[in-house]
Chain A
């Protein structure tokens, strides 16, 4: 049995500020296996991007990893810096962000950028890299790839640019791809195409994917497992079908009910009162307690740790109280 591609243990990300230290990511643990898509979902400010950024070592100071470890195929990468980190990024970890223009240099033709990245990381001749770049662009669905190689990023539409970014993320054949809101800026018809593409590439190449999004629909379509984040912690993590169809955490339940769907009824949506707390005002105990319909005394005093409920792990005192069920 081989171990996970990515393994994150007790990760903490902190920002020292004038008003004290803010904890954006608080004790997060998860694994991603080869060929698996882990969805990371949550509302804005939940800490999704901070988790992703910490994994790829791109936290901007004063933000810092204050605890825990990140391992890529068993090797610790959270304590790497400078050249050692740069070698891993791009080569072993590919990245896709919401705005494709953050990953593309507007001054260079897309072909040059892909070829350059490949040759930095892999022993390849210019001609080999060029051939491979054409293959990659066709693979991500760019028509007439050999002609488009010489186009500049601004000559592509938003959806096409995101395909180019995917090609760029894949070109050095990384073991892991971290994609932060890769479809959020795209129209639905284009979004559906990009989702299919990510899924197919992951399946065909056995790449592990960390897919960060606020859109539960995208997760349901794409991910194998999902981590639901709330106020810097994982509220619930498990198989997508379990979490989506039988959520256990009160927050996940509320969240699922509040999302309008084509299949649901047309009546009122489930409403969670209030909104997520700011980092400066995280409630004591369970951070969800002011909004939770089931909160009881203990929730206001102690933070719940994750326990198994079926195949999912759930951080809620109600789950801790129910007897642990065996794996079905």
Chain B
């Protein structure tokens, strides 16, 4: 049987930012232009109803990937294909509108992402109106009420303003707004990082329930491996702009392969005080403007070989796993 085509197919995605000072300062200070390679050669596939999690420390390029995948940021190179449509190639505007409806994004900061002057009802109805999904006020209002119930809020909340809600409730409002266009694919960038743990648990549970109920596909971004373990079917680990390892979630936690993945897992505090064996790795995250040559992880890597200082390891895929490392076999 031919495997189902993945809903999301990302190939060789890269993004370079110009991080130089303004032209005049450069001339005066005699500095070169500085290019920051935020994302380099990232490839991944997400099957329908799967949750692909991207993990990595600050500055590793997770949000930049997310923005390119939803169409908010143009890639420098590479391709994003959603259900067969090449997002950055297609010129047909109706095809693009259709795609936009099917992809929505949820951000980390539920305070910043809601317009404080709009009532909750108007916020949630915005995509409905933009895509012309409801006809007339009554239908829109009924749909908004249904969405509020879906995310565990009261339909009467549509008449309130965002400031009347707690952080967790605001994130529910963001989710309701994202769901209003009946999307298939949600890109969630650190959706619970700004929330308290008891509220995070509510939102993570809600997101899983909604996925089951509505058949959603998630790209889920987090720096927290324990959170990711609860959500992901598949995990990709990023370091300084590159995807260094990707595996089905259960396998990654059982047998992490890349030395950086192992280091990340070892750094997670042992909450259950189980006496888990850990190996602390020293060293800092390098400056992304001047990353180390070869494998960017080599200054911190306990397995580094001579060639790691020279050659960038290319991602190698086999048996559902991808790994970019000179010392470890896929």
Q: Is A189 a contact of B285 with CB atoms below 8 Å? A: yes
Give A270's nearest chain B residue, CB to CB: B201
Q: Is A192 a contact of B198 with CB atoms below 8 Å? A: no
A268 to B166, CA, bound (A): 22
Known: A254-B198, A260-B226, A276-B196. A189 touches B273 (CB 8 A): no
- A window 131-187: CB within 8 A of B: 141, 157, 159-160, 187
Q: Residue A220 contacts which of B199, B208, B271 (CB distance < 8 angstroms)?
A: B271
Q: Taking the complex as formed, is B49 at the interface, i.e. its CB lies under 8 A from any CB of chain A?
A: no
Q: Is A44 a contact of B196 with CB atoms below 8 Å? A: yes
Q: Is A43 a contact of B197 with CB atoms below 8 Å? A: yes
Q: Is B205 a contact of A269 with CB atoms below 8 Å? A: yes
Q: Taking the complex as formed, is B329 at the interface, i.e. its CB lies under 8 A from any CB of chain A?
A: no
Q: How many residues of B contact A (CB 8 A)?
A: 42
A249 CB to nearest chain B CB (Å): 13
Q: Residue B58 contacts which of A43, A187, A195, A215 (CB distance < 8 angstroms)?
A: A187
Q: Is A220 a contact of B269 with CB atoms below 8 Å? A: yes
B231 CB to nearest chain A CB (Å): 9
B263 CB to nearest chain A CB (Å): 6
A44 to B270, CA, bound (A): 22
Find chain B residues with CB under 8 A from A191 CB: 267
Give B265's nearest chain A residue, CB to CB: A262
Binds B, one of A25-33, A53-61, A239-247: A239-247
A110 to B274, CA, bound (A): 39
A39 CB to nearest chain B CB (Å): 12
Q: Taking the complex as formed, is A105 at the interface, i.e. its CB lies under 8 A from any CB of chain B?
A: no
Q: Taking the complex as formed, is A221 at the interface, i.e. its CB lies under 8 A from any CB of chain B?
A: yes
Q: Among B223, B266, B273, find the residue whose CB has the most chain A CB atoms closer than 10 A.
A: B273
Known: A262-B253, A263-B276, A276-B196. A189 touches B57 (CB 8 A): yes
Find chain A residues with CB under 8 A from B182 CB: none
Q: Taking the complex as formed, is B307 at the interface, i.e. its CB lies under 8 A from any CB of chain A?
A: no
Q: Is B205 a contact of A268 with CB atoms below 8 Å? A: yes
A50 to B304, CA, bound (A): 46
Q: Is B223 a contact of A187 with CB atoms below 8 Å? A: yes
Q: Taking the complex as formed, is B281 at the interface, i.e. its CB lies under 8 A from any CB of chain A?
A: yes
Find chain B residues with CB under 8 A from A221 CB: 269-270
Q: Taking the complex as formed, is B117 at the interface, i.e. its CB lies under 8 A from any CB of chain A?
A: no
Q: Is B230 a contact of A215 with CB atoms below 8 Å? A: no
Find chain A residues with CB under 8 A from B268 CB: 188, 217, 262
Q: Taking the complex as formed, is A307 at the interface, i.e. its CB lies under 8 A from any CB of chain B?
A: no
Give B281's nearest chain A residue, CB to CB: A189
Q: Taking the complex as formed, is B110 at the interface, i.e. its CB lies under 8 A from any CB of chain A?
A: no
Q: Is A241 a contact of B273 with CB atoms below 8 Å? A: yes
Q: Is A245 a contact of B272 with CB atoms below 8 Å? A: yes
A221 to B273, CA, bound (A): 8
Q: Taking the complex as formed, is A190 at the interface, i.e. its CB lies under 8 A from any CB of chain B?
A: yes
B305 CB to nearest chain A CB (Å): 21
A157 CB to nearest chain B CB (Å): 5
Q: Residue B285 contacts which of A190, A257, A262 (CB distance < 8 angstroms)?
A: A190
Find chain A residues with CB under 8 A from B28 CB: none
Q: Is B198 a contact of A260 with CB atoms below 8 Å? A: no
A18 CB to nearest chain B CB (Å): 18
Known: A44-B196, A192-B280, A263-B274. A215 touches B269 (CB 8 A): yes
Find chain B residues with CB under 8 A from A190 CB: 284-285
Q: Is B285 a contact of A157 with CB atoms below 8 Å? A: yes
Mark contacts of B213-230 with chain A using CB atoms, 8 A cut-off: 1 yes-contact digit, 0 otherwise.
Answer: 000000000011111011
- B window 180-226: CB within 8 A of A: 196-202, 204-205, 208, 223-226
Known: A188-B57, A220-B270, A276-B196. A269 touches B281 (CB 8 A): no
Q: Taking the complex as formed, is B121 at the interface, i.e. its CB lies under 8 A from any CB of chain A?
A: no
A244 to B224, CA, bound (A): 20
- B window 107-124: CB within 8 A of A: none
Mark contacts of A192-217 with chain B using CB atoms, 8 A cut-off: 1 yes-contact digit, 0 otherwise.
Answer: 11011000000000000000001111
Q: Taking the complex as formed, is B241 at the interface, i.e. its CB lies under 8 A from any CB of chain A?
A: no
Known: A270-B201, A275-B166, A275-B168. A259 touches B271 (CB 8 A): yes
Find chain B residues with CB under 8 A from A255 CB: 197-198
Q: Is B198 a contact of A261 with CB atoms below 8 Å? A: no
Find chain A residues with CB under 8 A from B270 CB: 217, 220-221, 263
Q: Residue B264 contacts which of A189, A193, A196 (CB distance < 8 angstroms)?
A: A189
Q: Is B230 a contact of A240 with CB atoms below 8 Å? A: no
B120 CB to nearest chain A CB (Å): 17
A161 to B270, CA, bound (A): 25
Find chain A residues with CB under 8 A from B281 CB: 189
Q: Residue A43 contacts which of B57, B169, B196, B253 (CB distance < 8 angstroms)?
A: B196
Find chain A residues with CB under 8 A from B57 CB: 187-189
Q: Taking the complex as formed, is A258 at the interface, i.e. its CB lies under 8 A from any CB of chain B?
A: yes
Q: Residue B230 contacts which of A195, A196, A216, A266 (CB distance < 8 angstroms)?
A: A266
Q: Pick 18 A–B contacts, CB within 8 A, sort by A.
A: A43-B198, A187-B285, A188-B223, A188-B267, A189-B281, A192-B266, A192-B280, A196-B280, A220-B269, A255-B197, A261-B271, A262-B229, A263-B270, A264-B272, A271-B202, A272-B201, A275-B169, A275-B196
In addition to A260-B227, A268-B205, A268-B208, 9 A-B residue pairs with Cβ atoms within 8 Å of each other are A187-B58, A188-B57, A188-B264, A192-B269, A216-B197, A261-B271, A262-B268, A264-B272, A272-B198
B positions within 8 Å CB-CB of A:
57-58, 166-169, 196-202, 204-205, 208, 223-227, 229-230, 253, 263-274, 276, 280-282, 284-285
List 6 A-B pairs, minimum CB-CB distance, nearest first.
Answer: A217-B269, A258-B201, A43-B196, A187-B57, A269-B201, A260-B226
